[in-house]
Amino acid sequence: MGFSALLASALCTFVLPLLLFLAAVKLWDLYCLSTRDHSCSLPLPPGTMGLPFFGETLQMVLQRRKFLQMKRRKYGFIYKTHLFGRPTVRVMGADNVRQILLGEHRLVSVHWPASVRTILGSGCLSNLHDSLHKKRKKLIMQAFNREALQCYVPVIAEEIKNALERWLQCGDSGLLVYPEVKRLMFRIAMRILLGCESGSATDGDSERELVEAFEEMTRNLFSLPIDVPFSGLYRGMKARNLIHARIEKNICAKLGGQREPEAGGWRVKDVLQLLIEHTQENGERLDMQELKQSATELLFGGHETTASAATSLITYLGLHHHVLQKVREELKTKGLLCKSSHDEKLDIDILEQLKYIGCVIKETLRLNPPVPGGFRIALKTFELNGYQIPKGWNVIYSICDTHDVADIFTNKEEFNPDRFLLPYPEDSSRFSFIPFGGGLRSCVGKEFAKILLKIFTVELARHCDWQLLNGPPTMKTSPTVYPVDNLPTKFMHFKGEM
């Protein structure tokens, strides 16, 4: 074979495909940029749009923390990208996030990726808009008022103490904290949010199957919108269908009047019961699919995020023993650390007095917010810090990055709950610390989450000492924050104040 033939073969094998690939990438960039609003003179934010069709979704999924840190260093607090099949602007920083969160229904509207909308369904709260969202949120909030929270306290405390007793029996071998905490939070969510009777949510095989289904659904919430066998979306929907089948049995039991009062007279209506009664009282057709979607969303939000936060609490208190000591000092001043107090029931008034524990929870949520951000879509072209955000583009506001760059926090990498003992100026802090989001779509269950995490911290501190067997964990987000090694930990009885 002559030299010219070898050269032609090399061109066809290597150079031509490379040129075609580069041309495709260039055409992709031109296509993405053509969606800008040409009637607006402002430039698009800086950034890159990634590979044709895939955009930068794969890099973000595979290298999330590294990828996002690189983007922030290179492009700053606002940049363009292409994620989950759509041109996207990613936003961080208190001033920028303020404009997004307060612009709901005016500048932006909620718009989760197609995979999230498909798996969770159009009938859940996070996918509702305008008056439908306002009406549903107001209804659900009834289950999280102060009176209801007071009734939930003994139920939460009972489940937590039962779990801690099991953890303490594991001995020197320890246990994997994150899966155990997820099961604990799942039991609490089943009892309080869906009204499952004590015991029905804790049957071993049934519980494991449901928790595993939720894990599979959660892993595939943010996936490419391709519904073919073995794709992420396919696996997520299959897990969702199993969850829906179990929830439908619970709904049918409620409709049949089979629910009995729990021990202790706990008869506050759970969220699912409120939704059912609201539909019946208004003479509306009972939409089983919509109820199942709402219940699935409640269970996801009610146990996945609190499990993430509770695991982070165990991590930080295990790494910073002086903070744990201060927690116990506060409990001692309230008479909650002596042995005789362990049988006394907590209540809302006592929990509200535990200011330092509240600061520990805030600092944990500052460093490890369970939910990294939220998705919106631009309803019209608008300006954000000198850039145009074109109509129809997705907008992601970042909670974790906003905490990282907040000017009001000094020594940002340090775990220091004391920073929250002194109030920050309202103007500068309102959107610098947003673990529950903000604006019209702030987390509907945030007061429930705060109470639950306080009870968890109280019971943990007065019953247990513990050792993180692998030291400080590496954290990952998928889609909530969790330790890669599941946090292997050895629990021991607390031998202090008696």
How far is 388 from 89, CA to CA, in rounded Å? 10
Which amino acid appears at position 176 of this protein? L
How far is 384 from 386, CA to CA, in rounded Å? 6
Asked if residues 88 and 395 have their Cβ atoms less than 8 Å apart, the reply is: yes
The DSSP bridge pattern shows strands 108-110 and 488-493 to be unpaired
Kindly list the distances between the CA atom of residue 49 and the CA atoms of 17, 27, 115, 212, 223, in Å, as whole numbers in the listed order: 21, 11, 20, 35, 18
The DSSP bridge pattern shows strands 108-110 and 175-176 to be unpaired
**Which residues fall within 8 angstroms of residue 2, CB to CB, at 6 or more apart?**
none
How far is 287 from 283, CA to CA, in rounded Å? 12
Distance from chain centroid for Cα 409: 23
How far is 115 from 117, CA to CA, in rounded Å? 6
Is 443 annotated as a binding-site member?
yes
How far is 160 from 155, CA to CA, in rounded Å? 9
Asked if residues 224 and 115 have their Cβ atoms less than 8 Å apart, the reply is: yes
How far is 245 from 18, CA to CA, in rounded Å? 50
Q: How many CB atoms lie within 10 A of CB 446?
A: 14
Asked if residues 400 and 372 have their Cβ atoms less than 8 Å apart, the reply is: yes
Binding residues: 443
Binding residues for heme: 443
